[in-house]
Amino acid sequence: MKALIKISALLVLIAIITPAHSQSLVHVMHTRNQYQFVFKVSKEMLGAHVGIQSEAGNQINSQRLMKRKMIIDFTDLPVGHYTVVVEKDGKAESFEYVRNWR
């Protein structure tokens, strides 16, 4: 009986925590290709501005997000640290990408 109570309490706790954990507007996905940065956004972030900045702060590329999933290919860029910024309506999330020498 005690095991049933513990399992029930654990399931309730997981049900409460899971929606709070999935509130992120941008979800980074992993790929096999080490030179690609892939992310998926929630529907409310459609039309967001996506910008890529170098470690010196120079804007390399920017465009509007027209679909929920975007793949950014860093193959042609030199080795260094890059920042990917996704922003819309005052909400912004930034991610670091490190382009290493192979």
Residue 24 carries which DSSP code?
Answer: -
Residue with tokens 């009986």, as numbered in its chain: 1
pLDDT at 100 over 80: yes
Tokens of 36: 């690609």
Confidence band for 87, pLDDT divided at 50, 70 and 90: very high
Q: Is 63 helix (H, G, I), strand (E, B) or coil?
A: strand
What does the pLDDT read at residue 2? Answer: 77
**Percentages helix, strand, coil for the chain, rounded to the nearest 5?**
25, 45, 35
pLDDT at 21 over 70: no
Instruction: Give 32-86 pLDDT, tens digit per residue.
Output: 888 999 999 998 899 999 999 999 989 999 999 999 999 999 999 999 999 999 9
What is the C-alpha end-to-end distance of the chain, expressed in Å? 57
Q: Is 29 helix (H, G, I), strand (E, B) or coil?
A: strand
What does the pLDDT read at residue 23? Answer: 63
**59 versus 101: which is more confidently predicted?**
59
Could you tell me how far CA 34 lies from the centroid of its own chain? 16
